[in-house]
Amino acid sequence: MDDPGTDGRLVDGDEDAVPPPADFRTRAAASDPAVYERFDREGPEAWRAAADLLTWDREYETVLDDSDPPFYEWFPDGRLNAAANCVDRHLDERRNQLAIRWFGKRGERRSYTYLDLHREVNAVAAGLRDLGVEEDDVVTLYLPMIPELPIAMLACARIGAPHNVVFAGLSAEALATRIDAADSEYLITCDGYYRREDAFNQKSKADNARIRAEGELSAAVVVDRLGDELAVSLGDDEHEYDALVDAHDGETVEPVARDATDLLFVMYTSGTTGRPKGVEHATGGYLAHVAWTTRKVLDVRPDDTYWCAADIGWITGHSYGVYGPLATGTTTVLYEGSPDYPDRDRVWDLIERNAVSVFYTSPTAIRSFMKWGAEYPESHDLSSIRLLGTVGESITPKAWRWYREHVGGGDVPVVDTWWQTETGAISLATLPGITPMKPGKVGPPLPGIDARVVDEDGEPVDPGESGYLTLASPWPGMLRGLREGDERYLREYWVEGEDGWRYRTGDGATVDEDGYVTILGRVDDVINVRAQRFNTGELEAAIVDADGVTEAAVVGDGDGHIVAYVTTKSGVEPDEALRDAVADRLASAVGDVARPDRVVFTPELPKTRSGKIMRRLLEDIARGEEFGDVSALRNPEVVGEIESTVREMS
Ligand code: WTA
């Protein structure tokens, strides 16, 4: 089959297929199947439908400039401001509607109407200007899930300063690398935040990063999250967030009209080599694609209360926690805490309390919910839910059904969405009012997305055969490039074939007769753990840095944990202390998120005859799964030994 995009909507007699619920279909944002044909017929021009969801300062005429592939430009002659699209344009119709409902870790609550949001975004934008931030200066944000994070993002967007959000759980070392790599002279962080029961000092990590960074910061802004619980001292170039807001309260800053191709933000993510890549997103194409998919795939409406549970420190939180919902003018829930505190029903309690109608989370979270038991969701009224979404890794049919049954009341659409930091927005998914769902399969590509599963030579594979997932034409949300330059952008992602340029996603996949794609996992050196991406080389290099270690291999166990296999120098006793040292190295190099769940000592790592570590095999062992023939290994005898060590540990 050569084009899953056109064949993907007709599901003939597939008994596992679940049709869109009839009552959902009648009110769905996308309900006319002709949308697929329209995109096929019109090509890139059809994406006008997405761009027309936005308010432009200067209307675009050209949809796509593809004169210099694969450096594509979307809506290149249009101008717009992302913050004005997420805030200002809603003021006429819904200034007193809630934009953000925030729930803090200690039970605190804060709500912002669109008018409140407008006021604070303007004050922060004015404050940043006052500190010297100019258009195109990159501002690094190192904040947990507090309202100041989306507000700071929008303030940056307002003045045309690209943001560079670094996940709050990453280490000082990781922050320093990202500040330097982005050439960022401004930082917004906080005194600290609550982790589990304890106040945790974020400022000292930020201070540490400033010492490590090669470049000098011009100024920093510090949010007071913990009040008296953590007193931090501020240097001359450090400003308290609240004081900055007070000083500029009531000021308005004219939103800067940006070229659609101008940088909205940079987001670092793990790639196929050790150093993280700075993925650059352009203002117009990104926002158009995100707004369109928020409407048509997640079916979010302005009168919804919507909750994307992902952390804003990653792309899902950027696209579907901030830009998508606010561009749509809906009310979005922001939650700082963990799903099991104070109890395992916290998520369901928040859904009930806020009458959340659309909920978007990851399979990792769903697996935890399943483990905790159906009694938690069942003890709450979840009848407000109209649609459920999932993203980040494959969801098993069993988890899909559990989610639909126990959270969705058995009858709502469950939309599995595939995309990446680089794609910017959802790329493969069913359209919930049109396309049947198949539990465990992502679904066909969205209209306008030219996804193909191909072999090594770029030839489409037969249904059921595994191949590489590639995107054969550009799409509006695509990265406009990498911070590291054109050469790395080309090398990381693009191949030129006979019929043009293909974007390589790095994922292995199969496709069925109906064009539904099943994701098999990464085919490169990236692992997905807890819906976050890590580069194995980066993690392994950090472990090998620990004294006494010679070699390391890291894998995900399929349950949200990292497992590290480690060999030690001769004479070094692999004991608990070394185990802690390995875990600490990962935490300080990357962050606590990368702390391994298990460190498995082994005399040798299984290798092919050419010396390549057999990570797939180690992953099977970590997952407790059957593994295939090991006779082609150079050292097959270690496999049994490793397996029994792992079995004893679990
Ligand atoms: C994986 C997250 C299976 C995939 C938005 C991809 C998925 C990587 C799915 C991107 C899904 C994402 N089913 N796998 N529905 N969604 N992935 O950049 O391997 O953090 O390449 O973006 O997550 O991760 P990233």
What one-character-per-residue DSSP string does 598-617 give? EEEE-SS--BBTT--B-HHH
**Greatest mean pLDDT range, 175-184, 566-575, 640-649:** 175-184
CA of 505 to the centre of ligand 1 (A): 10
Please, where are the H alpha helices in 281-379? 283-296, 315-317, 324-328, 346-354, 363-372, 375-378
CA gap 156, 137 in Å, rounded: 9
Ligand 1 atom closest to 532 (CA): 20
CA of 79 to the centre of ligand 1 (A): 31
Ligand 1 atom closest to 319 (CA): 5
CA of 524 to the centre of ligand 1 (A): 13
CA of 595 to the centre of ligand 1 (A): 21
Q: Three-class SS of residue 525?
A: coil
The label of the residue with tokens 């995100």 reads 290
Task: State residue 270's pLDDT score.
Answer: 78
Contacts for 430 with CB less than 8 Å, ≥ 6 apart: 20, 413, 415, 416, 436, 437, 443, 444
Q: List, for residues 586-598, the tens digit of each pLDDT value.
A: 999 999 989 999 9
CA of 363 to the centre of ligand 1 (A): 11
CA gap 522, 469 in Å, rounded: 10
CA of 527 to the centre of ligand 1 (A): 10
Q: Count CB atoms within 10 A of the CB of residue 436.
A: 19
Average pLDDT over every residue of 423-449: 97
CA of 470 to the centre of ligand 1 (A): 14
pTM: 0.92
CB-CB contact of 443 with 428 (8 Å): yes
Q: Three-class SS of residue 190?
A: strand
Closest C-alpha to ligand 1, atom 22: 420
> What are 426's two structure tokens?
């959802």
Task: State residue 273's pLDDT score.
Answer: 60
Contacts for 357 with CB less than 8 Å, ≥ 6 apart: 304, 305, 306, 384, 385, 386, 387
CA of 417 to the centre of ligand 1 (A): 8
Closest C-alpha to ligand 1, atom 25: 420
Quickly state the pLDDT bin for 531 (edges 50, 70, 90): confident
Quickly state the pLDDT bin for 268 (edges 50, 70, 90): very high
Quickly state the pLDDT bin for 602 (edges 50, 70, 90): very high
Contacts for 387 with CB less than 8 Å, ≥ 6 apart: 24, 298, 299, 357, 358, 359, 412, 413, 414, 415, 432
Ligand 1 neighbourhood includes 507 CB (under 6 angstroms): yes
> What are 582's two structure tokens?
């390995």
CA of 457 to the centre of ligand 1 (A): 24
CA of 546 to the centre of ligand 1 (A): 31
Task: State residue 628's pLDDT score.
Answer: 77
The label of the residue with tokens 């969701």 reads 377
Ligand 1 atom closest to 269 (CA): 18
**Greatest mean pLDDT range, 269-278, 281-290, 360-369:** 281-290
Ligand 1 neighbourhood includes 506 CB (under 6 angstroms): yes
Burial of 547 (0-12, 13-18, 19+ CB in 10 A): exposed
Across the chain, what does the average pLDDT equal?
94
Ligand 1 neighbourhood includes 146 CB (under 6 angstroms): no
**267, 417, 420: residue to mutate for ligand 1 pocket, most atoms within 8 A of CB:** 420
CA atoms within 13 A on the CB side of 222: 24
CA gap 100, 146 in Å, rounded: 10
CB-CB contact of 355 with 343 (8 Å): no
Prediction ipTM score = 1.00
Contacts for 465 with CB less than 8 Å, ≥ 6 apart: 455, 510
195/309: higher pLDDT: 309
Task: State residue 205's pLDDT score.
Answer: 96
CA of 391 to the centre of ligand 1 (A): 7
Instruction: Bin 365: left if φ > 0, else alpha if -120 < ψ < 50, else beta.
Output: alpha
Ligand 1 neighbourhood includes 361 CB (under 6 angstroms): no
Average pLDDT over every residue of 252-274: 90
pLDDT at 6 over 70: no
CB-CB contact of 353 with 380 (8 Å): no
Q: Three-class SS of residue 317?
A: helix
Distances (CA, A) of 285 to 78, 298, 500: 10, 19, 21
Closest C-alpha to ligand 1, atom 15: 418
pLDDT at 7 over 60: no
CA gap 250, 118 in Å, rounded: 10
pLDDT at 521 over 90: no
- Is residue 194 within a helix (H) or strand (E), and if so which, with residue range? strand 192-195
Task: State residue 21's pLDDT score.
Answer: 95
Ligand 1 atom closest to 428 (CA): 15
Task: State residue 5's pLDDT score.
Answer: 36
Task: State residue 4's pLDDT score.
Answer: 35
**533, 535, 536, 619: residue to mutate for ligand 1 pocket, most atoms within 8 A of CB:** 533
Contacts for 325 with CB less than 8 Å, ≥ 6 apart: 294, 300, 306, 308, 331, 332
CB-CB contact of 347 with 295 (8 Å): no
**272, 279, 318, 391: residue to mutate for ligand 1 pocket, most atoms within 8 A of CB:** 391
Burial of 325 (0-12, 13-18, 19+ CB in 10 A): buried
Q: Which amino acid is at 115?
A: L
CB-CB contact of 624 with 650 (8 Å): yes
Q: List, for residues 119-162, the tens digit of each pLDDT value.
A: 999 999 999 999 999 999 999 999 999 999 999 999 999 999 99
Closest C-alpha to ligand 1, atom 23: 392
Contacts for 31 with CB less than 8 Å, ≥ 6 apart: 25, 433, 434
Ligand 1 neighbourhood includes 424 CB (under 6 angstroms): no
CA of 392 to the centre of ligand 1 (A): 4
Please, where are the H alpha helices in 131-240? 148-158, 172-181, 202-212
pLDDT at 196 over 80: no
Q: Three-class SS of residue 510?
A: strand
CA gap 202, 225 in Å, rounded: 10
Please, where are the H alpha helices in 186-234? 202-212
pLDDT at 1 over 70: no
Q: List, for residues 219-261, the tens digit of each pLDDT value.
A: 999 999 999 888 889 999 999 999 999 999 999 999 999 999 9
pLDDT at 533 over 90: no
117/558: higher pLDDT: 117
Q: Considering the chain, what percentage of its residues have pLDDT values greater than 70?
A: 97
CA of 388 to the centre of ligand 1 (A): 17
CA gap 587, 134 in Å, rounded: 34
3-state secondary structure 564-598: EEEEECCCCCCCHHHHHHHHHHHHHHCEHHHCCCE
Ligand 1 neighbourhood includes 311 CB (under 6 angstroms): no
What does 50-88 look like in DSSP terms, one character per residue?
HHTTS--SB----SEE-SSTTS-EESTT-EE-HHHHHTG
CA of 157 to the centre of ligand 1 (A): 26
> What are 458's two structure tokens?
């770029």
CA gap 260, 47 in Å, rounded: 14
CA gap 394, 509 in Å, rounded: 11
Task: State residue 65's pLDDT score.
Answer: 98
CA gap 466, 493 in Å, rounded: 20
Task: State residue 272's pLDDT score.
Answer: 61
CB-CB contact of 161 with 183 (8 Å): no
Q: Count CB atoms within 10 A of the CB of residue 206.
A: 26
Ligand 1 neighbourhood includes 535 CB (under 6 angstroms): no
pLDDT at 532 over 90: no
pLDDT at 614 over 90: no
Q: List, for residues 317-347, the tens digit of each pLDDT value.
A: 999 999 999 999 999 999 999 999 999 999 9
Task: State residue 605's pLDDT score.
Answer: 93
